[in-house]
Structure 1
Amino acid sequence: MIQSMTGFGKSVLSLPDKHLSIEIKSLNSKSIDINTRIPLAYREKELDFRKFIAEKLVRGKVDFSIYVENIGAQTPSKINENIVKSYIEQMRSIVDGDLTELLKMAVRMPDALQSTSDAISVEEFEIIYNHINLAIAELQKFRIQEGKVLEKDFVLRIGLIGQYLQQVENFDTERLALIRERLEKAVAEIQNVDANRFEQELIFYLEKLDITEEKIRLKKHLDYFLETLTSDESNGRKLSFVAQEIGREINTLGSKANFAPMQQLVVQMKDELEKIKEQVLNVL
């Protein structure tokens, strides 16, 4: 069963002095690419968070966020009065400004605010890990649901390519007969043609236009794509490789066709295959 790389998961927890909301969002990417948005108090664990998420999600462009709402009586930071006063005095020596405006500028300067939060306990980090895991589980459910949608679309488009291939096979006898007739008319206008030599050259030419092997290989690739969809080893990279092989056979059919109705079918096959390739990029 395939999974999409697109997903979203969220988990909310309440601690005695704060509420935390943990969110994880993923989109398609060739590898794992994690962006974090977490409060300063939790930065010491950022690398561990990244490793934990990477092991679970494998691939995708991932946005990981922790939002904190403090509900305790104590604020997470306080004004560093001495530093703020120093900034105001320095600015007053440069410009004669309103005290309120200078204060607004001073509190934005470095070290104007200092954290009053205690160190995060081991128990709190364990709780956070559990809720990260819950958010990941929710995201993975989302990925599975999206994967089912992708699988349904793949089955539809592979089926359409198979139908076009059947129509190509139906045209093949007519195509070769018309090519032979066209060549015979052209040669009939030429005098002193060796009939035996002409027949040999005609057979050689028709063999070059023969698409039997391409039809067989294309059918096998289509079947293998469907088989891979439902296998335990199914993944976006493998499906992408099979899609490339399908494209190679379709291109060869187009180059050998030399018959307008068949070439139109090849164009329709390519159109469906391009849609498959676009969607394969979203498969985990």
Structure 2
Amino acid sequence: MIKSMTGYGRGEACGAGKRVTVEAKAVNHRYSEVVVRLPKAYMVLEDSIKKIFLQGISRGRVDVFVNLETDGEVTRQVKVDKQLALRYYKSLRDLAQELELSCDVGINALYSLPEVITLDEPEEDMDEVARVVDAAARQALDGMMGMRIQEGSSLAEDLFLRLTALRRRIKAVEERSPFVAADYSHRLQERIKELFGQTPVDEQRLAMEVALFADRSNITEELVRLNSHLEQFQKALASSEPVGRKLDFLVQEMNREVNTIGSKSNDLEISRHVVDLKSEMEKIREQVQNVE
């Protein structure tokens, strides 16, 4: 069954001292594209996250948002650079002597100087962090794909109904088509009578004119191709493969045949059916834009 290109999924996993949340939002797109947004310190994980989502989609744009929070307490070490503090102190004392000022440098002044005291962050196990992010990302992908499948089922149901409506209209055109030439012949004869009264008419010339009209207005080939496209469209809807581009192409071809029927038929009743066909096909075209 077909899949929609839109969907949303969320995943969460804990480990390596982190709580990881991944959200994935998929929208329509001509090609497949995955955009990952995560903290700068973890950009090294971007490619692996992209690969996870690209395995699940063949068409559409997916925005992936990754949030990492510290899970529990983090033990950070305070590091004091004693040698640097001593050099600061000696330099300040020498400067005070040279300027003949009192040297009143306390501990508060020393520890506020740059890099005397630093916090040593615990080193993270990036392999373990990557494992946790991977688990959350796959969970988000599963949720997103579930929604895409569910929406795809609704799309297929709607499209099947619209195909049924198209077939009814096409059948009405097929039933009307054989009478077009005969009606034209009748109208032509009535028009001749209006113009020339009871003046004899060259029946052979009249028959030739009607035959030419019948040939120009013949839509048999267009109807055959249109029905063939409908069959292919219906088979594609039942496929488990990505068929969005194929459906889009078939809609264009069906539109082409319907336009040709409208221009060739030269019949008011068929023209009305053509208007209805084009209206229904426009709705199908809009729905197909959502199919993967």
Q: Give the distance between the partners of 1:30 and 1:148, measured in 2 at CA.
A: 21
Aligned to 1:274: 282
Q: Give the distance between the partners of 1:41 and 1:15, measured in 2 at CA.
A: 17
Q: Give the distance between the partners of 1:2 and 1:179, measured in 2 at CA.
A: 45
**Residues 10-49 of structure 1 mapped to structure 2, 5 A cutoff:** 10-15=10-15, 17-49=17-49
Cα deviations by residue, 1:79-101 (Å, 9 ceiling, x for unpaired):
xxxxxxxxxxxxxxxxxxxxxxx
* Larger gyration radius, structure 1 or structure 2: 2
Moved more, 123-132 or 147-156: 123-132
Q: 1:23 to 1:167 in 2, by over 3 A?
A: same
Q: Give the distance between the partners of 2:181 and 2:213, measured in 1 at CA.
A: 10
Measured on the aligned residues, the alpha-carbon RMSD in Å equals 2.5
Count of residues paired in the alignment: 249
Q: Give the distance between the partners of 1:240 and 1:154, measured in 2 at CA.
A: 13
Query: TM-score scaled by structure 1?
Result: 0.79
Q: Give the distance between the partners of 2:161 and 2:192, measured in 1 at CA.
A: 46
Cα deviations by residue, 1:196-253 (Å, 9 ceiling, x for unpaired):
2332232011111111222222122112211111124451001111111111111111
Per-residue deviation, 1:68: 2.2
Answer yes or no: is the 8 Å Cα contact 1:31–1:60 preserved in 2: yes
Aligned to 2:81: none
Q: 1:59 to 1:269 in 2, by over 3 A?
A: same
Answer yes or no: is the 8 Å Cα contact 1:221–1:246 preserved in 2: yes
Runs of at least 5 residues in structure 2 that lack an aligned partner in the other structure:
79-117
Answer yes or no: is the 8 Å Cα contact 2:265–2:271 preserved in 1: yes
One-letter code aligned to 1:10: R
Are 1:254 and 2:262 an aligned pair? yes
One-letter code aligned to 2:134: Y
Q: Give the distance between the partners of 2:251 and 2:265, measured in 1 at CA.
A: 21
Q: Give the distance between the partners of 2:239 and 2:72, measured in 1 at CA.
A: 52
Runs of at least 5 residues in structure 1 that lack an aligned partner in the other structure:
79-112
Aligned to 1:55: 55
Are 1:226 and 2:234 an aligned pair? yes
Q: Give the distance between the partners of 1:129 and 1:14, measured in 2 at CA.
A: 11
Aligned to 2:86: none
**Matched-pair identity in %:** 33
Per-residue deviation, 1:5: 0.7
Q: Give the distance between the partners of 1:220 and 1:186, measured in 2 at CA.
A: 39
Cα deviations by residue, 1:82-127 (Å, 9 ceiling, x for unpaired):
xxxxxxxxxxxxxxxxxxxxxxxxxxxxxxx999363442122123
Per-residue deviation, 1:66: 0.9
Q: Give the distance between the partners of 1:34 and 1:144, measured in 2 at CA.
A: 19
Answer yes or no: is the 8 Å Cα contact 1:41–1:119 preserved in 2: no
One-letter code aligned to 1:37: R
Q: Give the distance between the partners of 2:28 and 2:9, measured in 1 at CA.
A: 16
Q: Give the distance between the partners of 2:26 and 2:274, measured in 1 at CA.
A: 36
Are 1:152 and 2:194 an aligned pair? no
Per-residue deviation, 1:193: 5.5
1:57 counterpart SS class: coil
2:48 counterpart SS class: helix
Are 1:238 and 2:246 an aligned pair? yes
Q: Give the distance between the partners of 2:43 and 2:136, measured in 1 at CA.
A: 17
Aligned to 2:219: 211
Q: 1:198 to 1:174 in 2, by over 3 A?
A: closer
Per-residue deviation, 1:75: 8.7
2:23 counterpart SS class: strand
2:235 counterpart SS class: helix
Q: Give the distance between the partners of 1:262 and 1:239, measured in 2 at CA.
A: 26
Per-residue deviation, 1:63: 0.7
Q: Give the distance between the partners of 2:235 and 2:34, measured in 1 at CA.
A: 32
One-letter code aligned to 1:70: T
Q: Give the distance between the partners of 1:114 and 1:153, measured in 2 at CA.
A: 61
Answer yes or no: is the 8 Å Cα contact 2:226–2:257 preserved in 1: yes
